[in-house]
Structure 1
Amino acid sequence: MLFRFSKFGTAAAMQTDLRSHGLWERTAPPAPYAEALYSTIDTDVVIIGAGYTGLSAALHLAQAGYAPVVVEAAQIGFGGSGRNVGLVNAGMWVKPEDFPGVLGPIYGQRLLTLLGQAPDLVFDVISAHAIACEATRVGTLHCAPDERGLSDLTERTRQWARWGAPVSLLGAQETARLIGSCDYKGALLDRRAGTVQPLAYARGLADAAIGAGARIFVNSPVTGMMQSGDRHIIDTPRGQVRAAKVIVATNAYSTGPFAAISDSLAPLPYFNVATAPLSPSMRARILPEGHGAWDTRSVLSSFRMDAAGRLVFGSVGGLGRWDAAVHRDWARREVTRLFPQLAGVDFETEWSGSIGVTATRLPRLHRLAPGVVAMAGYNGRGIAPGTAFGRVLADMTAGHTPDSELPLPVMNLPEPDALRGLRGLIYAVGSGLRHFAGARRPR
């Protein structure tokens, strides 16, 4: 059966775990007031999950005159929406011309168009609702540490340029100027992109949705779901929501009745660390124009500055009991190798989360039951796609967009990935081994 019933306790607030949200929890504006669900509510649409997708759907539905109710197991932005590095990128990891090969020409073109324009939506929403989230839109840099990476970026640049995207392939000298490191042979500059404080953006979306008429309930994990006539009944430990339509926006953090969603994804751990604010002279030399960046390595690194001049640096891997020291020590060595002027600079905060990875590296749109839809698998590109698909789900749920006009085919949830645990272990152990050996000798 699709919906599995389980009982589990209310999730703890994110503030109790300093490694869950790190810098973002310390520097984000407070979340809008929300309490747990203690009553029975009847509404037209209930949304499960208060991340980018769920909050965007709530905002767009409320603006269209609906009265959506959002039910969140923990806190606003608790999942990947409050833990990522904060790069607002266009597209996905898949090259543009690979979209039709995976989805066919119609859906491939639709999805590519949607995701290519998704950063516009993010920054338009931020501007329209005056969301205080350190938004910067000067572009991002996809960096090549070797000739293989440079070849990949050359082809990506060619393909995006064919779509009219404002992208450029930079040489080593210009890349070194914009990064502040001579480690890269070139970079793809995508001017559509930018950076945000990711938890602040999630909280700002929530505030905008509430202002438009949505209701959000936190610390209310869904413990069961059933259908009664034309209504779906969503149970939480202390309350219940009855709705005609359901949007499930829990992705890699799906549990309880919706655990089959996360079971169909391979979990990719990712961690970030952040320095204390750097001196003005260091800030003038490292990412001087405010670009976010990441590289083409299979175990990639990403880095950016926050508004206070902290260097945020991340990579594949978790911060569990056995691997935290490995990844932390590697990050110190790698930051020093990239930016020798930071030798001896320690990290002020660290945090980690999980990315849901699909076999195609493209997101999936599911119909779990009549009137119940779900998104899954942003593959590490949650901010712009999550915001865009939140609007898509809102339009779909409101009946404005039929299945035939959607940017993805609607599919049943696949069977659980039998190798999910193994894939997750490979990601975790592989990144740990790579980082244990990495940066110990010159490349």
Structure 2
Amino acid sequence: MRTGSPISLWDISAKEPDIQNPMAGDVETDVAIVGGGFTGLSTALYCAERGVSAQVLEAKHIGYGGSGRNVGLVNAGVWHPPAAVRKELGDTYGPRFVKRFGEGPAQVFDLIEKHQIRCEVTKTGTIHAAHAPSGFKDLQARHAEWERLGEPVDLLSAEDMVEKTGTRAFYGGLLDHRAGTINPMGYCRGLARAAKGAGAGISTGVRATKLRRDGEMWLVETDQGTVRAKYVVLGTNAYSDDLWPDLKRVFTMIHYFQLATKPLAADMSHILPGRQGIWDTGQIMFSIRRDAYDRIVIGSMGTVVGSVGRGLSRRWAKKQLARLYPELGPVEFEEAWHGQIAMTPDHLPRIYQLAPNLLTPIGYNGRGITTGTIFGQCMADLISGMDPADLPLPMTELSTVPSAPIMSRLYQTAFTANQVIKSL
């Protein structure tokens, strides 16, 4: 029986049923997977479809970490424009990475269709919105790159943005037709259902406490028994703990908070009429989207300060909505929540081989839906014998970020200050 409060709006509104399943004694399997989010469940699904036995171990419940707290934007690519990715990864991996991650939304949508996952999917794109003239210049450069690559990305004028968003607050935008939105918890639970249906084992409420070698095998000790496996995949990303030394020190952890309004009145249909998810070019990112039930979900970097009914974050959200859509008048909120994001110094993810047959993808930089799905397939490919040289980026040695704890605190201070300033 699941206990505790819902972790997000998506936890309440997802139509896919939760999967709750304690571990029944010791298990032997081909691959043990720690973490029941996008990465772990994608790994389990792709492994099971290849005839590779897999056992998922989730300490809380399916989607408890960043997967169930996500904004729900199914974006193509990463933070960097294609040219910056090519410069960072080189001529071999750079174009491959850009192509694979550009196809990420299609992979997600194909899985949703194949397994009939109920997750409020839209395929109307997402919009990168210019918060200032400088932001629009950046978007013009990004558009030129995507256009050169032949991708379906449109540059939007300020007037175009009024039509797409219902507000005059933006200086332009970049509409990516490859992208879309989902209920992220619905997608996560759907992946769990699909993986279980394909033959993967899924155990919830089971915490992995220790990893050790047992001859040619790995032994994962948990609070409910042991799992003996040839391979182990750690799919914990920003929610990594001390299971493997220093793993939670390879990224800077930041938070992202969101508040959801009650459903809008029928006469507010001009607000985000195409339901594209939006994020802006500001240094402290802001996002807004409209869900399948006509709630506005608005968020930014930082934690929820206060609660859904009172406090700083609620004041921030009311102020932002009044700035964007003064015609809304007083708004009421249903839910408030925040999650953790693993940010790497270069804003690119990592794949580490921590020890023989011990793998972890990590550092998703706020792009968990597509990255987790793609890397889950990569894990299954590696376990099935793929040459690591065929990955979308090279496997690297684990490298810690010594300044991460300090930077996390500094970022949190700056994000809270931003909420204060923008609530005045």
TM-score category by the smaller chain? over 0.9
**3-state SS of 2:259 partner:** strand
- For 1:360 and 1:188, locate their aligned partners in 2 and report how far apart those are by CA, in whole Å: 23
Residue equivalent to 2:4 = 16
Residue equivalent to 2:288 = 303
Q: Which amino acid aligns with 2:165?
A: I
- For 2:28 and 2:130, locate their aligned partners in 1 and report how far apart those are by CA, in whole Å: 53
Spell out, residue by residue over 1:160-191, the C-alpha distance to the aligned partner (whole angstroms, 9 max, x if none).
11221100101111111110100111000000
- For 1:111 and 1:424, locate their aligned partners in 2 and report how far apart those are by CA, in whole Å: 28
Spell out, residue by residue over 1:278-319, the C-alpha distance to the aligned partner (whole angstroms, 9 max, x if none).
11111x110011111111001111111111100011100102
- For 2:19 and 2:237, locate their aligned partners in 1 and report how far apart those are by CA, in whole Å: 24
Is residue 424 of structure 1 aligned with residue 404 of structure 2?
A: no
Is residue 172 of structure 1 aligned with residue 158 of structure 2?
A: yes
Residue equivalent to 2:100 = 114
The correspondence for 1:272, drawn from 244, 258, 269, is: 258
Is residue 198 of structure 1 aligned with residue 184 of structure 2?
A: yes
The correspondence for 1:391, drawn from 374, 377, 396, is: 377
**3-state SS of 1:411 partner:** coil
**3-state SS of 1:16 partner:** coil
Residue equivalent to 1:137 = 123
**1:149 deviation in Å?**
0.4
1:395-414 equivalent positions in 2, closer than 5 A? 395-399=381-385, 401-414=386-399
Q: Which amino acid aligns with 2:273?
A: P
1:45-194 equivalent positions in 2, closer than 5 A? 45-194=31-180
State the TM-score, normalizing by the size of structure 2: 0.97
- For 2:177 and 2:374, locate their aligned partners in 1 and report how far apart those are by CA, in whole Å: 18
- For 2:67 and 2:244, locate their aligned partners in 1 and report how far apart those are by CA, in whole Å: 18
Residue equivalent to 1:226 = 212
Percent identical residues:
39
**3-state SS of 1:232 partner:** strand
- For 1:258 and 1:329, locate their aligned partners in 2 and report how far apart those are by CA, in whole Å: 40
**3-state SS of 2:246 partner:** helix
The correspondence for 2:419, drawn from 424, 428, 435, is: 435
- For 2:280 and 2:383, locate their aligned partners in 1 and report how far apart those are by CA, in whole Å: 38
- For 1:109 and 1:69, locate their aligned partners in 2 and report how far apart those are by CA, in whole Å: 34
**3-state SS of 2:359 partner:** strand
Contact 2:104–2:374 (CA under 8 A) maintained in structure 1: yes
Residue equivalent to 1:243 = 229
**1:91 deviation in Å?**
0.5
**1:248 deviation in Å?**
1.0
**1:214 deviation in Å?**
0.5
Contact 1:317–1:327 (CA under 8 A) maintained in structure 2: no
- For 2:191 and 2:219, locate their aligned partners in 1 and report how far apart those are by CA, in whole Å: 26
**3-state SS of 2:415 partner:** helix
Residue equivalent to 1:339 = 325
Contact 1:251–1:375 (CA under 8 A) maintained in structure 2: yes
- For 1:262 and 1:38, locate their aligned partners in 2 and report how far apart those are by CA, in whole Å: 29
**1:26 deviation in Å?**
1.2
Stretches of structure 2 that go unaligned for 5 or more consecutive residues are none
- For 1:177 and 1:398, locate their aligned partners in 2 and report how far apart those are by CA, in whole Å: 48
Contact 1:139–1:292 (CA under 8 A) maintained in structure 2: yes
